[in-house]
Amino acid sequence: MKQLIIMRHAKSDWGNENLPDIDRPLNARGVRDAARMGKELKLRGLVPDLILCSPALRTRQTAEGLTANADGLVGVPIRIIENLYAASARTILLAVQSAPNSCGRLMVLGHNPGVGELTEALTERWLPEGMKTATVAVIGTEGSEWVCVESGTLSAVIYPRDIGNE
């Protein structure tokens, strides 16, 4: 069995409306939430073997926040996948299906609506609150090869507001 962790990037900064969307950074809350989610995932034993990440600045900063702190996901490799920026659920699934089979737990870090649609499509579960910023969905999949992943069981949805404040 493989485990897929789908995460939407943390809260971004809309202070500069002339900035191209791909170059938008995280705001202060986003930086905080990324570090908190990294710590929470580690506490729950949900340390991925690999993070597939959109090239957008806010997703890269989220990945860095998850992995930068010794209490978080330190040492987890991050692979930037160019076509994950503003990707559809199908494009994200193709990235998942291309992951190395040596990876037992995989994280995909991207954008709505694709991450939310993929979560709902794989699990056939509607998320009443959707994939808000920095939300994590944990999905168990059958089989030993990522290329075969087409469905799964939703085992957890973690919202930043539901974890302890620091």
- How do the domains of the chain map onto residue ranges? 2-124+139-161
β-strand pairing of 50-53 with 105-110 = parallel
AA letter at 116: G
Distances in Å between the Cα of 91 and the Cα atoms of 1, 78, 94, 111 are 22, 18, 5, 12
Q: What is the pLDDT of residue 165?
A: 63
> Which of 3.20.20.220, 3.40.50.1980, 3.30.2270.10, 3.40.50.1240 would CATH assign to domain 2-124+139-161?
3.40.50.1240
SS3 category, 7: strand
Would you write out the chain's pLDDT as a tens digit for each of its 166 residues?
899 999 999 999 998 989 999 999 999 999 999 999 999 999 999 999 999 999 999 999 999 999 998 899 999 999 999 999 999 999 999 999 999 999 999 999 999 999 999 999 999 998 878 899 999 999 999 888 999 999 999 999 999 999 976 5
AA letter at 37: M
Q: What is the pLDDT of residue 153?
A: 97
